[in-house]
Amino acid sequence: MTVRKKIVLIVFVVISLFLSFNLLVDYFYVLGSLEDLEMDEGKKGLKRAALAIDRDLEHLSLLCYDWAEWDDSCHFIEDRNEVFINSNLLENTFLHNHLALLFFIDKAGQVVWGSCYSDELGEFISITEFPGQKWPAGHPLLQHSQNDSIVKGYLQTSAGVLMLASRPVVPSSGSGGIRGTLIMGRLVCDRCIELMRERTQLGLEIWSINDETLLPVDCYAKDQLKAETPTFFVRNQDWIFGYTVLNDIYSRPVLLLRTKSWRTIYKRSRNGIMVGMLCSLLAAIVVGLLISYLLHRSISRPLACFVKLIADIGASEDIRKIDVHPESDEIRSLQREFNQMVQRLHDDSRKRESAEVDLRDSEARLSAVLNAAPDGILTIDAAGIIKTVNQAAVEMFGYEVNYLPGKSILILSEPQRQTLLHEEIIKFRKDPESSVFSFGVEVSGVRRDGSHILLHCKIGRVEVEGADLFICIVRDVSGLKEIHEKLMRTKHLASIGEMGASIAHEIRNPLAGISGAVQVLTDMSSVERPEYETLLEISRLTGCIEETVCQMLEYAKDWQPEPSLVSIVNLINEIISVYSRQIDLQDITIRVEGSSEIRALIDPELIGQVLVNLMANAVAACGGLYGELVWRVERNLREVYISLQDNGSGIDDDVQKSVFKPFFTTRENGNGLGLAICQKIIERHNGSITLESEVNVGSKVTIILPKSKFLRA
């Protein structure tokens, strides 16, 4: 058979197969896929409808949760006060919250208060399924064993199907146990269904499972769903109907949910496929004739010449001889010649692929080593653009893996230091030996969240493909720096404490002798004598020295708190009461804000000493005239805060940095140990103390105790 006849036959077979395959694909796959697509849309619509009604049930559960953890609800369960009823259990409560049922039941199953309301009738009604006196202990809505338990679902009643939510009534503090049960219900009515249609934009219908008005197709779907089938779908030429059932609180079917979807896609696509097949058939006939003619002119005739040329090349001395089968036609000869060339190319390709595999393995090993390194490793080009980063650098700066490559190295530095960093990089590029980066230097970096990090940075240079590449190795030394500073501070304070205790011990005995001698001389003298005032001044100054010595001994103590559970607000009120008996505070206004229920495990004597010292400083800062002091006690999930705010003269920024240092004072007769002792006591409680102040505005001292050191009543 000649090549020309083969071409005609092949074109005819290919076009026939193409048309047949296209027809089969359109009818069996495309239309089937469209039907599946419509069915998927129907399933999504049914799922969206079920989620919509479940969302209404969840909203009712959240409303019930708000009421159940309301302290007034807890008190009402216990004392059944009329004030709560007159304030909250009114008709407007049912109307505004779209409620059809609201019951308060104590732990014994006794109804404290309960009513049912009909929105259509506009009056309170009775529902036989909800007794007004005593409920059985095994009722599903009363089964609560934990404070956060919830029972929700549906129930068929004489008034219709109710959407119910039940929550245990507990105090807002979470302690004290379950006081009773709060039950709320909404009627699944036409208004509720219409709202769900608007939200979901679906043809949605909801019936009671026992509704006698159901159509035969709906009854058939209901029977199928009762056979443990979660969903059921029915489709005809125009619609796809989806069905599912919702169970009540007894796990029995109570509601039948139906959605419907219009089959627009299937009908239009089927008509389009028919028109497309006719057009394809006509086009295939024309194209087949044209291809046959063109293949004859462009392939059949030139092919013989091409085969002869290939044979001549194969017979030359420079090209390996090609063995030609004697019965092969032109196409098969061309294939054999071509296969010879492909084989050689394939050999080269295998060698190249082997080299590429080795290269990828080498890169993978290098990447694994870099990512396993504990220090951050970045490579940057001569322009300061980041090329690669390892895992340690990504975690250190808080960026995503693919974010940093392509960005400037300057984004990891403080804005005010970026110019200096850029100049130092240029200096390193020109003369590495003269740059601090060659030996390693501490720099301040910036994380993605804006926080600062102290780094030890060292840079090296390597040449890759004729271009300079710089390797930057960084190590986070923030923790080491902080530990070092804290250790040095602890050693410094310990040395000061030991020295102060030693000096105070040595001074105290001679000081007692001086004080006694001055007292004897004072008693022997009289007011008229000129030395009497001098003796009084000596006695006063001796008292100041004695007070400083006592403060030094206090500071040198190894404070060991004896904690007990104390109300912070009550402790502050006691301190104010005692302090006001010693100092005239009639021109000072003192407020205490916070709940007395906030209690902490503290040593009340030591913390009381801190509070007295802070209040004395605040009163002194106010000058005793028209001062205002505000104590605040607050808490969150992790910490408790005790703060004192005054409207005194305030403190300069430079002075604020040293107020907690021992022996630092701005007062004429101060010894500079008061706030240092306060800080030491708070640190013994595993807490911290801070000062914020503004000149001529006032100061605020805040004490922070960690969660492990306080309890909620």
Judged by average pLDDT, the poorest of 38-52, 73-87, 328-342, 386-400 is 328-342
If one compares 670 and 521, the residue with the highest pLDDT of the two is: 521
Select from 158, 204, 208, 161 the least CA-distant residue to 57: 161
Provide the pLDDT for residue 436. 53
Residue 490: how many other CB atoms lie within 10 Å: 11
The tokens of 65 are what?
């949760």
336 pLDDT more than 70: no
What is the per-residue pLDDT for 325?
Answer: 45
Give the pLDDT band of residue 713 (cuts 50, 70, 90). very low
**Which residues 6+ apart lie within 8 Å of 153 measured at CB?**
57, 164, 247, 248, 249
590-636 tens-digit pLDDT: 899 998 888 888 888 888 888 888 888 888 888 756 788 899 999 88
Average pLDDT for 466-475: 76
* Lateral strand order in the sheet of 123-125: 123-125, 111-118, 101-106, 180-187, 160-169, 151-157
Average pLDDT, the chain: 77
Q: Is the pLDDT of residue 323 over 50?
A: no
Q: Give the span between the Cα atoms of 395 and 448, in whole angstroms.
A: 10
Residues in the chain: 713
Q: What distance in Å separates the CA atoms of residue 710 and residue 594, rounded to the nearest whole number?
A: 15
Of 75, 112, 106, nearest to 168 (Cα)?
106
Convert the pLDDT of each residue in 195-212 to its tens digit. Answer: 888 888 788 888 888 887
pLDDT of residue 167: 93
Q: Give the pLDDT score at 710.
A: 41
Average pLDDT over residues 46-74: 90
Q: Per-residue pLDDT averaged across 340-360, rounded?
A: 74
Provide the pLDDT for residue 76: 92
| C-beta pairs of 459-462 under 8 Å, 24+ apart in sequence | 459/425, 459/428, 459/432, 459/435, 461/428, 461/429, 461/432
Predicted confidence band of residue 558 (pLDDT cuts 50, 70, 90): low
Angle at 603 between CA 602 and CA 607, to 5 degrees: 90
Please write down the HEC assignment for all residues of 214-259.
CCHHHHHHHHHHHCCCCEEEEECCCEEEEEEEEEECCCCEEEEEEE
pLDDT tens track for 679-696: 878 887 888 888 888 888
- Distance from C-alpha of 332 to C-alpha of 80, rounded to nearest angstrom: 101
- The reported pLDDT for the residue numbered 420 is 67
Q: Which residue has the higher pLDDT, 556 or 191?
A: 191
**548-568 b/e (C-beta count within 10 Å ≥ 16 → b):** bbebbbbbbeeeebeeeebbb
**Closest Cα partner for 391 from 369, 409, 407, 406?**
369
* Amino acid occupying residue 672: G
Using DSSP's 3-state secondary structure scheme, residue 665 falls into coil
Closest CA to 522 of 508, 512, 509, 532: 532
Q: What is the pLDDT of residue 342?
A: 54
pLDDT (average), residues 446-450: 80
- Element containing residue 378 per DSSP (H, E): strand 376-380
Of 26-35, 165-174, 537-546, least confident by mean pLDDT is: 537-546
pLDDT level of residue 534 (50, 70, 90 thresholds): confident
Q: Which long-range contacts (CB under 8 A, 24 or more apart) does 173-177 make?
A: 173/597, 173/712, 173/713, 174/147, 175/712, 175/713, 176/74, 177/147
* 324-332: average pLDDT: 53
Q: What is the mean pLDDT of residues 161-166?
A: 92
The pLDDT of residue 671 is 59
How much is the pTM?
Answer: 0.39
Looking at the DSSP bridge assignments, the partners of residue 529 are none
Q: Which residues contact 547 (CB under 8 A, 6 or more apart)?
A: 671
Q: How far apart are CA 645 and CA 634, in angstroms?
A: 14
Confidence of residue 164 (pLDDT cuts 50, 70, 90): very high
Share of the chain above pLDDT 70, in %: 73
pLDDT of residue 275: 80
**What does the pLDDT read at residue 182?**
93
Q: What is the mean pLDDT of residues 178-198?
A: 87
**Mean pLDDT highest for which of 255-259, 267-271, 531-535?**
255-259
Mode of pairing for the β-strands spanning 627-635 and 588-593: parallel
Average pLDDT over residues 23-29: 75
Contacts for 683-686 with beta carbons within 8 Å, 24 or more apart?
Answer: 684/559, 684/560, 684/561, 684/606, 685/561, 685/563, 685/602, 685/603, 685/606, 685/607, 685/709
Q: In the predicted model, is pLDDT for residue 119 greater than 60?
A: yes
Q: Give the whole-angstrom CA distance, residue 109 versus residue 130.
A: 12
Question: Residue 393: what pLDDT?
Answer: 79
Residue 455 has pLDDT above 60, yes or no: yes
